[in-house]
Amino acid sequence: MPRRPKVTESRTIGVSDFVDHTRSIVLSDSRNSRRLLVYRFIWQSDSVSATVPNPFSPTFGASPRHWAGRRIILDDFTRALESGPGSPTRSMVISGARGIGKTALLTELEDIAATRGWIVLRASGRDNPVADLTDTVIPGKILELDPPSRRKVSGVSIAGLGSVSTSTSDPLQPVPTINTRLRELLALLESTGVLITVDEIQDADAEDITRLAVAYQDLVRDRMEVSLVVAGLPFGTDRLLNLPGTTFLRRAERYDLGPLTDEDAGDVIRHTTDGSGIEFTPEAVETAVDIAEGYPYLVQLIGYLCWETAQRKERTVIEAADVDRERSEAVQSMGAQVHFISLKEVPAGQRRYLSAMAELGDGPQSTADVAEALGKTAGSTSDVRARLIERDLIQPAGRGKVEFTLPHLGEWLRGPGTVRRVQ
């Protein structure tokens, strides 16, 4: 027989109570003032139910449970929506390395727009964004806002027989374009607007982006309530924006996402566990922040691994040593999820340059030393170096020095350098 729990608190229930597994609570039903006794979900205060899901989300595209940082972008965007058509920050280009948080940021911006009543249209450069928007996404929204039953009936053929035709069935109707579709949608809105987000812009067809940019510019000229935010990897995004048809987007507000500050990364670690029954000590937070180096995917990953182990061992506190023990697993996972994919199409010569850099150690390396390690002169490796910078794998780090862009690439190259093979 389970022990009857001690009542520790009396309050009105909220959703958060269901994730707070560490306390027993008494619910007071505020309407009929009946008092209900609720048993705590877990008997022992020092163990956590195996059914509590891990609050960290080391998954690309997943929104974090606790968001931190990027305040400037969120504020600029909020202000842009509020300041009416014509605000330059209504068109934004967000670029950044893999896993730096582009998709999560797009979702945050979509939420900001949606809470202000804006319609959000989402597309990806991996599909055909213009065709998707024109043929599927916008018509879907139009149907939601204006179901066919509410549309104007344009004619009744024979009274009483119920045969009607609506204005949408005219065979002479012009073929819709992204521009006409957006105007159709905007015509249904009052004192609100339409936000279009396009993720993975680096994979988009140049012609597609040109068409989208031209349509968007046309709507802006007519002072329509629209906003366009695109996101992608830096090199691919730059390449696309340098094309003649995308001049307009080149003038959009550009944000390059860097690592989170230590304070923000610490906030994510600390607050993601809120109400989960497991928490990090301040020293453990510090250790996790050191390992993550401000890289959001790694913040989620290290948090996830530590939380998972603590749950398995029925522990409620994660210490610095526990975080340290997960370090190599985090580096290996990061390698498989991020580095392995980034290096897939890198030619052998560029790989050799990276390996030489890795062998020299972590931190910035002099380009002369890397060239020497390869048995070459600094001048003869400048082309390879430039290609690696373009690929966002390395970045200049002061005069005559380069460093890896993403954390732990050097360590991973020195170690397995490939994904683990399971027998």
Q: What are the residues binding Mg ion (CB under 5 A)?
A: 102-103
CB of 221 to Mg ion, least distance (A): 31
Block residue for tokens 């730059």: 238
Q: Are strands 194-199 and 226-232 parallel, antiparallel or unpaired?
A: parallel
Q: Spell out, one character per residue from 46 to 85, where the chain touches ligand ATP: x when CB under 6 A holds, - when not.
A: -----------xxxxxxxx--xxxx---------------
CA–CA separation, 393 and 237 (whole Å): 15
Strand partners, 10: 26
Between residues 81 and 106, which has the closer beta carbon with respect to ligand ATP? 106
- Footprint of ligand ATP on 249-278 (CB under 6 A): 268
Q: Which two tokens stand for residue 202?
A: 């680096």
Binding residues for ligand ATP, how many (CB under 6 A)?
24
CA–CA separation, 386 and 11 (whole Å): 62
Residue 201's binding partner out of Mg ion, ligand ATP, none, with CB under 5 to 8 Å set by partner kind: none
Is residue 82 within 8 Å of 120, Cβ to Cβ? no
CA–CA separation, 416 and 334 (whole Å): 12
Residue 58's binding partner out of ligand ATP, Mg ion, none, with CB under 5 to 8 Å set by partner kind: ligand ATP
Residue 294's binding partner out of ligand ATP, Mg ion, none, with CB under 5 to 8 Å set by partner kind: none
Among residues 55, 90, 93, 101, the one that binds ligand ATP under rule CB under 6 A: 101
Report if residue 340 touches ligand ATP, rule: CB under 6 A.
no
Between residues 70 and 270, which has the closer beta carbon with respect to ligand ATP? 70
Among residues 81, 100, 182, 356, the one that binds ligand ATP under rule CB under 6 A: 100
**Sign for the pseudo-dihedral over CA of 36, 40, 43, 44:** negative
Among residues 280, 297, 307, 412, the one that binds ligand ATP under rule CB under 6 A: 297
CB of 102 to ligand ATP, least distance (A): 4
Between residues 103 and 405, which has the closer beta carbon with respect to Mg ion? 103
- Burial of residue 422, with CB atoms counted within 10 A of its CB: 0-12 exposed, 13-18 middle, 19 or more buried: exposed
Residue 296's binding partner out of ligand ATP, Mg ion, none, with CB under 5 to 8 Å set by partner kind: ligand ATP
Residue 99's binding partner out of ligand ATP, Mg ion, none, with CB under 5 to 8 Å set by partner kind: ligand ATP
Between residues 298 and 323, which has the closer beta carbon with respect to ligand ATP? 298
Q: Which two tokens stand for residue 162?
A: 């119920």
Positions touching ligand ATP (CB under 6 A) are 57-64, 67-70, 96, 98-104, 268, 296-297, 300
